[in-house]
Amino acid sequence: MSNDKFLSSLSRAALSRREFMGRAMAAGLTLTAASSLYATSASAQEPKRGGNLKLGLEGGSATDSKDPAKFLSQFMFCVGRCWGDMLVESDPLTGAAVPALAESWEPSADAATWTFTIRKGVQFHNGKELTIDDVVATLKRHTDEKSESGALGVMKSIKEIKKDGDKLVLVLTEGNADLPLLLTDYHLVIQPNGGYDDPLASIGTGPYKLTSFEAGVRATLEKNPNDWRSDRGYVDTIEIIGMNDATARIAALASGQVHYINRVDPKTVGMLKRSPNVEILSTSGRGHYVFIMHCNTAPFDNNDLRLALKYAMDREAMVETVLGGYGKVGNDFPINSTYALFPEGIEQRTYDPDKAAFHYKKSGHSGPVLLRTSEVAFPGAVDAAVLYQGSAQKAGIEIEVKREPGDGYWSNVWNVQPFSTSYWGGRPTQDQMYSTAYLSTADWNDTRFLRPDFDKILLQARAELDEGKRKDMYREMAMMVRDEGGLILPMFNDFVNAAQKSVKGYVHDIGNDMSNGYVATRVWLEA
Amino acid sequence: MTQSTDTGDIPALSLYQRFPLAVLVAQRLVLSLVLLLAVSVLIYGGVEALPGDFATTYLGQSATPQAVANIRADLGLDRPIVTRYFEWLGGAIQGDFGTSWASRNSVTEQIGKRLGNSLSLAALAAAISVPLAVGLGMLAVHFRNRMPDRIINVISLAAISLPEFFIGYLLILVFAINFNIATFPSTVHDGMTIAERLKAMALPTATLVLVVLAHMMRMTRAAILSVMSSAYMETAELKGLSALRAIVKHAAPNAIAPIVNVVALNLAYLVVGVVVVEVVFVYPGMGQYMVDAVTVRDMPVVQACGLIFAAVYIFLNMLADIIAIVANPRLRHPR
């Protein structure tokens, strides 16, 4: 169930943020960013209103719950974004926090206390006005230790949630400049009385009201006439159909039965493209497919062997073959140019059998290297491993590919075995990406990158307010991971979806798949 | 056995000797119940023994120890298995399958809808395929080894050799994409009219008919052919009956038992074995429901589906046996 991993990887982000964060991010930029939110790709045409939008989505399951706390699938991710609002959204192009139900926010100097102003005059679908009590109750429900909320990990750094007059005050266990971004989590739908009364009622403040729902099968929604925002919700009704079979999704789109499908297999993109009314929607993302070596486990504790294995990877061929061209080559550190303060100008590592052979010889290693993989690690992981085996062979390195069962891969192989394939979703900031997987103490340090000097720079960068200096620090960190780490990162994958050409105004949101889940609220239908 | 006691009207005759039909049917009924009970134990035990655990599987990698512990305590998984089994069985007998762990909805309610969908699809496919198969079988016998028989054979062999997902995709390609005359996806939901529903079900029904037709047709042909070689068929022929009439009136009734058996087997398959077809056509039936539940180890749903599938299977087989018993003239007319 790679899609679940995909989404849960979002929730994972916050777990490692235990460190004090010294810098206070100004919240002021957000208001202007909000007004330009949809002005980007949409403004070229005047949005049309009306029509019934049909989506065919992978990921629905009969076990899906309507309780936002228990949203797990892609299907519910999209349904929830239609009827509910969070306090904060993220800018589709920059990933910065922009206001939603929270109008503005102000951090304390140490970024450990945050004061939010809640928007006034917003109505729930049942006519009740949104109050600060609803917001407090919602956050309390998701931070409750007894809660089964998928956002529990994200929320556990919140120590206290209180009402101060008409403001919301959040007190954290430690400073965190990225708190507003944490509140964009798709579980944190603001519900009347926090959803304590009836978590399954699906009453929110979003542009659409849920009119029918059958788990894993179908959901229908109709326009909320009292939406507090006019720059979204263009179609009258939405029909979301669960289609877990990739061929069924493609057939439904090609025959014009649905307007939009998600999760197009790169292998079939070519065929789908031949259909004259279909447009492939490919969005660059921060997610990446990786081959991970444990830096502290023989034989991978030898940096020459690690370098040999890095040079033995044919990245271009990987992007072409495994991603069908829908992705970008990676450079063995987990950051790409969609991140702010991306360290530019680092030389791209390319396939070099001679250098690989040189380092391999220097490492003194002999015999086959065992690589474990499974189809669930990422789509095409087994093919990628075999491809890698071939390119390494030309450098005289023998790689033995072991195909593991998908069931239990994440608990028995990933983060356990010394050399395996895996997938990472992106993070809102470089700091979070490194803190989640490369800090010595991180829960998901799946390359066993244990470097006190790296940790030191990471913590310094977090507190550094001078952007130039911080950029230099991020460059230094990237170089350490690239040249000494256990990460082989051949490619960043795009989110590949497809739509009828009559679907207009699609926003390529770097935040997450399906226009960050907002696809149905952002597009309109051309007659 | 009837022959050994066939000596006259003695009052000490056993129940079986007096009402062999009723006794055999009753025996078959009791056997079915015992079987169902045994299956329920197997299902419960088997599902419990599955590796992996609902709490961790459901939460995926976002599982925190706290959330896992919360879910386990909430579901009462700490209690002994025997207690839980009898509670479950008690509920199941009254039609209450408990609450889905994942969605917290009533399993009975959810299954009601899904089972209805599966059964209506199966019924539609059966209503078309059974008469068609039997008719074609008879036709094949009638034109034995001539052109119509060969054509029927080749087509049915081709249909049986193609996997159902392939047949499904072909039908979608031709009827939904190329000609755009069929409804796809076949998602049925509340508020559809009968006509809309039937239109949505057309392609999956056609797929199922093609999948089960050949098996039933060939069995019908074989069963009738074996009867055709018996002496009374020769008599029928000699007394001047037309060939078709001889087949319909004399051969077919005596071939009922084997035909009913293969029909029952195929009907059971139509209900419990159509997961692939349901997935391909996005049809919300029981198969898809059970697969989803197994993936997250949603035990109450898995158990309920398993029990219902077993019940359908046992019931249809029992029905076939009873029909075979009833159709046996020796038992219908003892002595």
Give residue B236's pLDDT band: very low, low, confident or very high (50, 70, 90): confident
pLDDT of residue B52: 63
Model-level ipTM above the cut of 0.85: no
Nearest to A149 by CA among A195, A85, A208: A195
CA distance B125 to chain A (A): 21
pLDDT of residue B9: 54
The chain A residue lying nearest B99, using CA atoms, is A63
Give residue A8's pLDDT band: very low, low, confident or very high (50, 70, 90): very low
Interface of B with A in 128-187 (CB under 8 A): 169, 172-173, 176-177, 180, 183-185, 187
With contacts defined as CB-CB under 8 Å, which chain B residues touch A145?
Answer: 66, 70
pLDDT of residue B334: 64
Task: For residue A485, give every residue at least 6 positions away whose Cβ sits within 8 Å of its Cβ, in sequence order, or none.
Answer: A295, A306, A332, A333, A438, A447, A449
Average pLDDT over residues A190-197: 94
Interface of A with B in 30-59 (CB under 8 A): 56
B43 touches chain A (CB under 8 A): no
A217 touches chain B (CB under 8 A): yes
Interface of A with B in 331-370 (CB under 8 A): none
Nearest to B179 by CA among B189, B171, B190, B187: B171
B99 touches chain A (CB under 8 A): no
pLDDT of residue A5: 41
Q: Which helix (H) or strand (E) holds A148?
A: none
Question: For residue B317, is pLDDT > 60?
Answer: yes
- Going from the C-alpha of A225 to that of each of A49, A412, A442, B71, the distances in angstroms are 13, 50, 46, 38
Topology of domain B107-332 in CATH is MetI-like fold (1.10.3720)
- Residue of A144 and B9 predicted with greater confidence: A144
Distance between CA atoms of B172 and B202, rounded to whole angstroms? 11
Give residue A460's pLDDT band: very low, low, confident or very high (50, 70, 90): confident
Nearest to A255 among B71, B176, B280 (CB): B176
- Going from the C-alpha of A508 to that of each of A30, A40, A90, A206, the distances in angstroms are 19, 10, 13, 20
Residue with tokens 């919140």: A158
Name the DSSP class of B273: S
Please state the domain extents for chain B: 107-332
Task: Tell me if residue A402 falls in helix, strand or coil.
Answer: strand
The chain A residue lying nearest B74, using CA atoms, is A146
Question: Which of A4-13, A263-272, A468-477 shows the highest mean pLDDT?
Answer: A468-477
pLDDT of residue A391: 96
pLDDT of residue A387: 96
With contacts defined as CB-CB under 8 Å, which chain A residues touch B51?
Answer: 408
Distance between CA atoms of A308 and A395, rounded to whole angstroms? 9
User: How high does pLDDT run on average in chain A?
Assistant: 86
Give residue A331's pLDDT band: very low, low, confident or very high (50, 70, 90): very high
Residue B116, beta-bridge partner list: none
pTM of the predicted structure, to 2 decimals: 0.81
- Find which of A245, A410, A414, A422 to mutate to test the B interface (most B CBs within 10 Å of its CB): A245
Distance between CA atoms of B184 and B203, rounded to whole angstroms? 8
Interface of A with B in 1-20 (CB under 8 A): 1, 4-5, 8-9, 11-12
By percentage, how much of chain A surpasses pLDDT 70? 91
Residue with tokens 């879910």: B71
The chain A residue lying nearest B71, using CA atoms, is A148
Question: For residue B5, is pLDDT > 50?
Answer: no
Interface of A with B in 232-271 (CB under 8 A): 241-245, 247-248, 251-252, 254-258
With contacts defined as CB-CB under 8 Å, which chain B residues touch A410?
Answer: 60-61
A22 touches chain B (CB under 8 A): no
With contacts defined as CB-CB under 8 Å, which chain A residues touch B185?
Answer: 56, 241, 243, 248, 252, 257-258
Give residue B59's pLDDT band: very low, low, confident or very high (50, 70, 90): low
Answer yes or no: do B61 and A152 touch at CB < 8 A: no
Question: For residue B223, is pLDDT > 60?
Answer: yes
Rounded to the nearest angstrom, the gap between the alpha carbon of residue A47 and the centroid of all alpha carbons in its chain is 28
Distance between CA atoms of B33 and B41, rounded to whole angstroms? 13
- Find which of A148, A409, A436 to mutate to test the B interface (most B CBs within 10 Å of its CB): A148
* B293 and B302 Cβ atoms separated by less than 8 Å: yes
pLDDT of residue B327: 81
A62 touches chain B (CB under 8 A): yes
Residue with tokens 């916050």: A14
Interface of B with A in 256-315 (CB under 8 A): 279-282, 284, 288-289, 292-293, 295-296, 298, 301
- Residue of B253 and A42 predicted with greater confidence: B253
